[in-house]
A and B are shown apart, each in its own frame.
Chain A
Amino acid sequence: DAKTTQPPSMDCAEGRAANLPCNHSTISGNEYVYWYRQIHSQGPQYIIHGLKNNETNEMASLIITEDRKSSTLILPHATLRDTAVYYCIYAGGTSYGKLTFGQGTILTVHP
């Protein structure tokens, strides 16, 4: 099973950057890293994904280390509405079709 390791919780001040780490040391060469977030009692929402290059979209930036064993999701200016559980997963390649989520990181943004 695809397994990732994330800190169980993190805090961030509103307006500051939130940097959420993820370890995925067993990722294989053709598997993508995906980030989702889940606001209480809703379905998870896709944020961003990448293979080996850093990626940026309107929601966040994704930094993947050169060895691809870890990544960091960056929310550049966190708001109270970014308080959620953030999940890092990897999929594709041999694990195609089986999206396995871990426990995620509870991010709390404080005023």
Chain B
Amino acid sequence: DGGITQSPKYLFRKEGQNVTLSCEQNLNHDAMYWYRQDPGQGLRLIYYSQIVNDFQKGDIAEGYSVSREKKESFPLTVTSAQKNPTAFYLCASSIHRERTEAFFGQGTRLTVV
């Protein structure tokens, strides 16, 4: 089935460790996005990528890093520099510029202890 897959669904890490969240899509979409969602809050954009080997910072990029080496994959690394990493992380992709209808994964819930 075509879709966007995030893994794992739940992730636990010790404070001070870097952690990488996976996002893969087989929809042949050009653009991919990472969002963070805190309890009771809306989605905040971390990074987005419109084409392979290119990405831009969103509104809350500090403490995060991404790569876009393949069209299908857009992994997010939460570094030790991120002060409050515990959150729900959502990945999305969209098809092309005039119609930015986005498809979302089911999210990864990261808990740092």
- Interface residues of A, Cβ cutoff 8 Å to B: 1, 32, 34, 36, 41-46, 49, 85, 87, 91-92, 96-104
Look across to chain A and name the residue whose beta carbon is closest to the beta carbon of B96: A96
The SS class assigned to the B binding surface is strand
In the bound complex, how far is the Cα of B99 from the Cα of A97, in angstroms?
Answer: 10
How many residues on B have C-beta within 8 angstroms of the other chain's C-beta atoms? 29
The residues of B that contact A42 with a CB separation of less than 8 Å are 106-107
12 A–B contacts, CB within 8 A, in A order = A41-B109, A43-B90, A46-B101, A49-B99, A96-B100, A97-B48, A98-B58, A99-B92, A101-B35, A101-B43, A102-B42, A103-B42
- Interface residues of B, Cβ cutoff 8 Å to A: 31, 33, 35, 41-45, 48, 50, 56, 58-59, 88, 90, 92, 94, 97-107, 109
Complex contact A97–B107 (CB within 8 A): no
Q: Indicate the member of B33, B42, B50, B103 with the most A CB atoms within 10 Å.
A: B42
Complex contact A97–B59 (CB within 8 A): no
The residues of B that contact A32 with a CB separation of less than 8 Å are 99-100
In the bound complex, how far is the Cα of B107 from the Cα of A97, in angstroms?
Answer: 20
The residues of A that contact B43 with a CB separation of less than 8 Å are 44, 87, 101
In the bound complex, how far is the Cα of B59 from the Cα of A34, in angstroms?
Answer: 20
Choice from B56, B59, B100 contacting A91 with Cβ under 8 Å: B100
In the bound complex, how far is the Cα of B106 from the Cα of A43, in angstroms?
Answer: 5
